[in-house]
Structure 1
Amino acid sequence: MGSDRDDVLWDIACPKQSSRVPGITMAGFGDRGITPPSIRLIPHPAVTLLLVLDGTIAVEDATGHQRRGSFVTGLGFGETIHGLRAQTFECLQVRMSPVVAHAVLGAAAELDNAVVTLDDLWGRQAAQLTEQLGALPSWEERFAWTDAWLARRCAAAPRVDPEVAWAWHRITATHGMIRIEHLAAELGWSRLRLWSRFHAQIGLPPKRAAKLVRFDHAVHNLVAGQDAAGVAADRGYTDQSHLHRDIAAFTGLTPATVVDEPFLAVDDLAWGWPGPPTTRPRRPPRKCLG
């Protein structure tokens, strides 16, 4: 299950089975001893839970402030330049749709491009969680244990409103290219109501969430070798300059340089491009249409 590619910084393990909870993907990472002092994080349209089982990982923001240990990053974290620093580590990463994260993490799902340590979030329970995982002898056992734990948390927690969940799935199914006024019209809501409910439960305003999803698909198209002009046309940007501005806003890089970022290679290996499949959204919930 480990990666044999020489250009990848870490050994990567992936579950043999999909999660029983739709909207969750997992991967395990082990340091190869070649991790550079700092790695740029690339924003992703998911809430990320990183469980550090051994070694040290620290997330550093643009001000230089570091948070060490296991942590949760909000939807789109990394938009202002954030770095990851690591020393001989082993960790399990869980990426969650914000719809699922709301049930698993509660208020922590609404971090809005921020990060919180699990110690701050759960106290002693955070250490117990990583100790239990670290004691398991194989990645498959760790994945299975984590999946069962996530399923229990989801079953016991309230979910986001069905209209909000539908709006998120509609955004991901259209690769972020749906206009927000059309989304509101399909729901039978005003734009203000959609903005308020979506922002409160997902963690970003709907327009910002759509922009993040579109960016994610665009940047992976670039990594796959498509030229910037073609990506701009395929992803609904007004022109190549518009794509350039979005890439710069999310990463501080250009379309030509962002493709070399290690985190995008990790995406390709650990989850496959362009990421976990999304369920095609059905019509809006009936109670929205009256």
Structure 2
Amino acid sequence: MVAHAVLGASSELGGTVVTLDDLWGREAVRIHERLRAAGSWEDRFAIAEDVLARRGDAGRAVDPEVAFSWRRMVASRGRVRVERLVAETGWSRKRLWSRFRAQVGLTPKRVAQLIRFDHAAHRLAAGQRAATVAVESGYADQSHLHRDVMTFTGTTPGAIALSPFLAVDDVAWPFTRARSAAVPIGA
């Protein structure tokens, strides 16, 4: 959704590589010049943050129904059914899929799968057993989890469990950093 507002791009660009010049034209050239002239990385990051914030504020609005559906998917960790989102937004299934895909770049079902997988991957890295993660993350069984892990990463749940960068990512899922305990903070 942020890309929709900030980049001004539509879902037709999905799966392609496009230069910033192609998206923003002369503004991209001016930004490149400002970044090259900046005296430090701190200055460059400040320029980038300012540009992205301005573009986000002035960018294309995301439909409230799309934003609502996104928030519901994140809150449920990908376990909300699309039919329920359709009922809650008051839109038809076709309209929700069309607008969601245009503004997010993926269908609601694919986004829910990715959110569910991300949550499961972090739990695996936090030291939970694959069978437990599968059941508690909404997978039909452990083999279903295994298939998603293979699809999204090309590796096994065991390999994901050994991914140290996931074990310390408390931004996406607030789990303790200790690999032996996978209890949400505050629980």
Q: TM-score interval w.r.t. the shorter chain? A: 0.7 to 0.9
Do residues 183 (structure 1) and 88 (structure 2) align?
no
Equivalences for residues 74-223 of structure 1 within 5 A = 99-107=1-9, 111-122=13-24, 125-126=27-28, 128-223=30-125
Partner deviation per Cα, 1:198-245 (whole Å, 9 max, x = no partner): 112211111111111111111122222222112112211111000001
- For residues 49 and 77 of structure 2, the distance between their equivalents in structure 1, rounded to whole angstroms, comes to 27
Q: Secondary structure at the match of 1:245?
A: helix
The structure with the largest strand share of the pair is 1
Please give the root-mean-square deviation of Cα atoms over the aligned residues, in Å.
2.7
Which residue does 2:184 correspond to in 1? none
236-245 or 225-234: bigger deviation: 225-234
Could you tell which deviates more after superposition, 116-125 or 203-212?
A: 116-125
Where in structure 1 are there 5+ consecutive unaligned residues? 1-98, 278-290
Could you tell me how far 1:136 is from its partner in structure 2? Answer: 3.3
Name which one, 1 or 2, has greater alpha-carbon Rg.
2
CA contact (8 A) 1:109 1:202 kept: yes
Alignment of 1:34-49 (within 5 A): none
CA drift of 1:179 comes to: 0.7
Q: 1:237 and 1:154 mapped to 2: Cα distance?
A: 35
**TM-score of the aligned structures, taking structure 1 as reference length:** 0.53
Report how far residue 197 of structure 1 moved: 1.6
Aligned partner of 2:185 in structure 1 is: none
Match of 2:146 in 1: 244
Q: What is the TM-score of this pair, normalised by structure 2?
A: 0.78
Partners of 2:106 and 2:58 lie apart in 1 by 24
Distance 1:223 1:121 in 2: 37
CA deviation profile, 1:114-134 (whole Å, cap 9, x unmatched): 543334434565454344335
Q: How many residues align?
A: 174
Q: State the percentage of identical aligned residues.
A: 57
Distance 1:107 1:171, change over 3 A: same
Distance of 1:260 and 1:126 partners within structure 2: 40
Higher helix share: 2
2:170 is matched with: 273
Counterpart-to-counterpart distance in 1, 2:125 and 2:159? 10
| Contact 1:232 1:238 (C-alpha < 8 Å) held by counterparts | yes
Q: Which amino acid aligns with 2:83?
A: E
